[in-house]
Amino acid sequence: MEKLYTVEDIAKITMMTSRTIRNYIKNGMLKGKKIGGQWRFTEGDVNNLMDNGTYRAKHISNLKQDIISFVDGVSDTIKGDVQTCTIIDLYQDRNVVAGKQKELMEFINSNSSSTDNGMRFSSEYIESEAKTRIVIFAQPEFITRAMQILK
């Protein structure tokens, strides 16, 4: 059975607010299904949102600002004594990377403490450089496991 994501799950994954995600639903950028009065989304629904040009431009702008905030020491996203921001560039076949991203998402979803501690994950394919850039804000132990998955 395929995992279904909530509005809150997608907000955490995409580093957006729940309100922004609800706006994407309202304007048709994010498609899903209402089950029991609550929105639910498949991985395909989330991928379609991330492939949307308007979403991508806003997401990239927000991500750059988050990285600058982290470097400037004003980020309070990650909870705990040690905070990390890791940027990984993968010069690998997109299909290979997609499999690794799916495994990473499964790890994130199976580890509830990752999102409770402020963990955030972002990915984008940069066509002009034929690479996938992954940015992760998380505790070091999470980064260690993520690097094992992505190697």
Q: pLDDT, tens digit, for every residue of 97-131?
A: 888 887 887 787 777 555 556 677 788 888 899 99
pLDDT attached to residue 86: 93
Per-residue pLDDT band for 66 (boundaries 50, 70, 90) equals confident
pLDDT one-digit tens code per residue, 125-143: 888 999 999 998 888 888 8
Spatial CB neighbours of 47, under 8 Å, sequence gap ≥ 6: none
d(CA 114, CA 135): 15
Is the whole model's pTM more than 0.75, yes or no? no
Query: Which among 12-26, 32-46, 63-77 has the top mean pLDDT?
Result: 32-46
pLDDT attached to residue 113: 59
pLDDT attached to residue 118: 66
Taking residue 129's Cβ as centre, other Cβ atoms within 10 Å add up to: 10
| Fold for the domain defined by 76-151 | Ribosomal Protein S8; Chain: A, domain 1 (3.30.1370)
Per-residue pLDDT band for 14 (boundaries 50, 70, 90) equals confident
In the chain, what's the furthest Cα-to-Cα distance? 44
pLDDT attached to residue 92: 92
Asked whether residue 16 carries a pLDDT value surpassing 80, the answer given is: no
d(CA 31, CA 143): 31
Asked whether residue 34 carries a pLDDT value surpassing 90, the answer given is: yes
Q: By C-alpha distance, which of 6, 42, 149, 30 is closest to 136?
A: 149
| Residue 92 backbone zone (phi > 0: left; psi -120 to 50: alpha; other: beta) | beta
Query: What amino acid occupies position 143?
Result: I
Cβ proximity of 32 and 25 under 8 Å? yes
Per-residue pLDDT band for 48 (boundaries 50, 70, 90) equals confident
Domain ranges for the chain: 76-151
Taking residue 49's Cβ as centre, other Cβ atoms within 10 Å add up to: 24
